[in-house]
Structure 1
Amino acid sequence: MITASKWFWNGLWNYTNRGFEKKKQHFNENDLNQDISSKHFIITGGNNGLGFQTSLELAKLGGNVHILCRNQEKGEQAINEIKDKSKSDKVHLHLCDVSIIGSIKSFVDDWKKQGNSVDVLIHNAGVMLPNREETSEGHEKTFATNLLGPFLLTKLLMCDDNNSGSGSGEGAHKRVIFVSSGGMLTSKMSKDFEFKKFTTNKNLKWDGMRAYAETKRAIIYLTELFSQNYQSFNSYSMHPGWVNTTGVMNGMPLFYKMTKSQLRTLEQGCDTIVWLAVSPTVEDHSKYSGQFFEDRQIVDKFIHNSHTESSQEDINSLWNYLNEIFLKSC
Structure 2
Amino acid sequence: MITASKWFWNGLWNYTSRGFEKKKQHFNENDLNQDISSKHFIITGGNNGLGFQTSLELAKLGGNVHILCRNQEKGEVAINEIKDKSGSNKVHFHLCDVSMVSSIKSFVEDWKKQDNPRIDVLIHNAGVMLPNREETSEGHEKTFATNLLGPFLLTKLLMCTDGEKAGNVGFDQAFKRVIFISSGGMLTSKMTTDFEFKRFLTNPKLKWDGMKAYAETKRSLVYLTELFSEKYPSFNSYSMHPGWVDTTGVMNGMPLFYKMTKSQLRTLKQGCDTIVWLAVSPTINDHSKFSGEFYEDRQIVNKYIHNSNTESSQEDINTLWNYLNDIYSKNFQ
Q: TM-score, normalised by structure 1?
A: 0.98
1:329 corresponding residue in structure 2: 331
Task: Please give the alpha-carbon distance, in whole angstroms, between the structure 2 residues aligned to 1:322 and 1:307.
Answer: 24
1:297 corresponding residue in structure 2: 299
1:130 corresponding residue in structure 2: 131
Distance apart, 1:235 and its partner CA:
0.2
2:234 matches 1:224: no
Distance apart, 1:172 and its partner CA:
2.5
Equivalent in 210, 213, 219 of residue 212 of structure 2 = 210
Task: Please give the alpha-carbon distance, in whole angstroms, between the structure 1 residues aligned to 2:140 and 2:47.
Answer: 24
Structure 1 residues 108-117 or 19-28, which shifts more? 108-117
Task: Please give the alpha-carbon distance, in whole angstroms, between the structure 2 residues aligned to 1:171 and 1:241.
Answer: 30
1:156 corresponding residue in structure 2: 157
Residues 277-317 of structure 1 show CA distances to partners (whole Å, capped at 9, x for unaligned) of 00001100000000000000000000000000000000000
1:245 corresponding residue in structure 2: 247
Distance apart, 1:116 and its partner CA:
1.2
Letter in structure 2 aligned against 1:117: R
Secondary structure at the counterpart of residue 174 of structure 2: coil
Residues 204-245 of structure 1 show CA distances to partners (whole Å, capped at 9, x for unaligned) of 100000000000000000000000000100000000000000
1:71 corresponding residue in structure 2: 71
Q: Percent identity?
A: 84
1:193 corresponding residue in structure 2: 195
Question: Given the superposition, is the C-alpha separation of residues 289 and 32 from structure 1 closer, same or farther in structure 2, using an over 3 Å criterion?
Answer: same
Structure 1 unpaired stretches of 5+: none
Letter in structure 2 aligned against 1:306: S
2:5 corresponding residue in structure 1: 5
Task: Please give the alpha-carbon distance, in whole angstroms, between the structure 2 residues aligned to 1:73 and 1:249.
Answer: 23
Task: Please give the alpha-carbon distance, in whole angstroms, between the structure 2 residues aligned to 1:101 and 1:163.
Answer: 24
Quick check: 2:148–2:220 contact (8 Å CA) kept in 1?
yes
Q: Which runs of 4+ in 1 moved over 3 A?
A: 161-166, 168-171
Write out aligned runs for 1:90-129 (5 A).
90-114=90-114, 115-129=116-130
Task: Please give the alpha-carbon distance, in whole angstroms, between the structure 1 residues aligned to 2:175 and 2:254.
Answer: 37
2:172 matches 1:181: no
Residues 57-102 of structure 1 show CA distances to partners (whole Å, capped at 9, x for unaligned) of 0000000000000000000000000000000000000000000001
2:141 corresponding residue in structure 1: 140
Equivalent in 263, 267, 272 of residue 265 of structure 2 = 263
1:23 corresponding residue in structure 2: 23
Letter in structure 2 aligned against 1:156: L
Letter in structure 1 aligned against 2:10: N
Task: Please give the alpha-carbon distance, in whole angstroms, between the structure 2 residues aligned to 1:199 and 1:319.
Answer: 23
Distance apart, 1:161 and its partner CA:
5.9
Letter in structure 2 aligned against 1:24: K
Task: Please give the alpha-carbon distance, in whole angstroms, between the structure 2 residues aligned to 1:271 and 1:163.
Answer: 30
Secondary structure at the counterpart of residue 27 of structure 1: coil
Letter in structure 1 aligned against 2:307: N
Task: Please give the alpha-carbon distance, in whole angstroms, between the structure 1 residues aligned to 2:122 and 2:163.
Answer: 15
Equivalent in 262, 271, 274 of residue 272 of structure 1 = 274
Task: Please give the alpha-carbon distance, in whole angstroms, between the structure 2 residues aligned to 1:210 and 1:234.
Answer: 28
Task: Please give the alpha-carbon distance, in whole angstroms, between the structure 1 residues aligned to 2:231 and 2:151.
Answer: 16
Task: Please give the alpha-carbon distance, in whole angstroms, between the structure 2 residues aligned to 1:166 and 1:177.
Answer: 22
Secondary structure at the counterpart of residue 252 of structure 2: helix
2:285 corresponding residue in structure 1: 283
Structure 1 residues 275-284 or 167-176, which shifts more? 167-176
Distance apart, 1:171 and its partner CA:
6.4
Quick check: 1:170–1:280 contact (8 Å CA) kept in 2?
no
Structure 2 unpaired stretches of 5+: none
2:314 corresponding residue in structure 1: 312
Task: Please give the alpha-carbon distance, in whole angstroms, between the structure 2 residues aligned to 1:191 and 1:173.
Answer: 33
Letter in structure 1 aligned against 2:133: R
Quick check: 2:236–2:291 contact (8 Å CA) kept in 1?
yes
Secondary structure at the counterpart of residue 194 of structure 2: coil
Aligned length: 330
1:51 corresponding residue in structure 2: 51
Task: Please give the alpha-carbon distance, in whole angstroms, between the structure 1 residues aligned to 2:93 and 2:124.
Answer: 16
Quick check: 1:121–1:175 contact (8 Å CA) kept in 2?
yes
Structure 1 residues 316-325 or 161-170, which shifts more? 161-170
